[in-house]
Amino acid sequence: MPHKIDTVVFPVAGLGTRFLPATKAVPKEMLPVVDKPLIQWAVEEAAAAGCKRFVFVTAPEKDAIMKHFSDAPHYQDVLEARGKTQELALLKAGLPQDAEIIKTYQEQPLGLGHAIWCAHEATGDKAFAVILPDDMVQHPTGCLAQMAAQYQTCGGNLVAVENVPADQTHRYGVLDPGAEADGLVAVKGLVEKPAPEDAPSTLAIIGRYILAPDIMRTLSAFKKGAGGEIQITDAMAALIGQVPMNGFRFQGTRFDCGNRDGFLEANLAFAIAAAGDEERAALKQRLRPLLD
């Protein structure tokens, strides 16, 4: 039986140019959705799935991310002196009590596959999870927790998938799907960012993975694919037939916070979900004239 997933990798070295000028000095992963930065939502999702080891693949100029998950003695002293116990709890930034924080750098922007490979010393010889904070999933049970439960029955490489519009396949890794049962889709092949006319389906990978340790050996070949980058999709495809490979149709609504429209939608959806009945009614009343 596959072991429980306790290590999660966050590839967060990218520049976030789509959100300039907001990301000139602030990493895109630190942009807030309601009252928490994107990266904290991702960390909380991983913690809810049972992860204890949090590996950040980052860049030297993005030290704000690591500061967010570090101790804050000044805040702590002030809040303790004022008896602000609830605010003190917020300083944990979503990390479990026994969390292990690991930082490594991606020195060059060589693609998602390379970013994941940069965590190879931290992941070792066990399967691990990957969360791309740009993708948020709204559901009472986090997407990674859903996957971790499914992983206990299938093992191998497991990716979260959903159908996307046919004209958007060029943005994703796309499955050549096989048999499907209970939300688990066998994968016959994978294509990275295919043009609509070349896509084997519209079933696309979103930013959640559970990967077998074999993936690091494949990535270490540094074989470049689409866009001249080292693609995780290509590495997974190379292991089909050697390692079980499945897509998982998760429950929930996915928001692509890598673009402004998705980021705005996520803020609205999570704000409405967090609001009480009166606040929700007031939000609807205020928004209605703006949307007409």
Q: Which residue has the tokens 């998982």?
A: 248
More confident residue, 16 or 42: 42
User: Per residue in 204-238, pLDDT tens?
Assistant: 999 999 999 999 999 998 998 888 889 999 999 99
Which CATH superfamily includes the segment(s) 7-258? Answer: Spore Coat Polysaccharide Biosynthesis Protein SpsA; Chain A (3.90.550.10)
Say if CB 160 and CB 248 are below 8 A apart. Answer: yes
Q: What is the mean pLDDT of residues 43-59?
A: 96
CA-CA distance, 237 to 192, in Å (whole number)? 10
Grade residue 2 by pLDDT with cuts at 50, 70 and 90. Answer: low
User: Per residue in 249-280, pLDDT tens?
Assistant: 999 999 999 999 999 999 999 998 888 888 88
Could you give the residue ranges of the DSSP H alpha helices within the chain?
38-48, 63-68, 73-81, 85-90, 112-117, 120-123, 143-154, 214-219, 232-238, 260-274, 277-291
Give me the half-sphere count of Cα atoms (radius 13 Å) on the Cβ side of residue 132.
22
Grade residue 132 by pLDDT with cuts at 50, 70 and 90. Answer: very high
Measured from the Cβ of residue 6, the count of other Cβ atoms closer than 10 Å reads 17
Measured from the Cβ of residue 230, the count of other Cβ atoms closer than 10 Å reads 22
pTM over 0.75: yes
Boundaries of every domain in the chain: 7-258
| Token code pair at residue 133 | 């904070």
Grade residue 146 by pLDDT with cuts at 50, 70 and 90. Answer: very high
Whether residue 116 has pLDDT greater than 90? yes
Whether residue 114 has pLDDT greater than 70? yes
Say if CB 120 and CB 129 are below 8 A apart. Answer: no
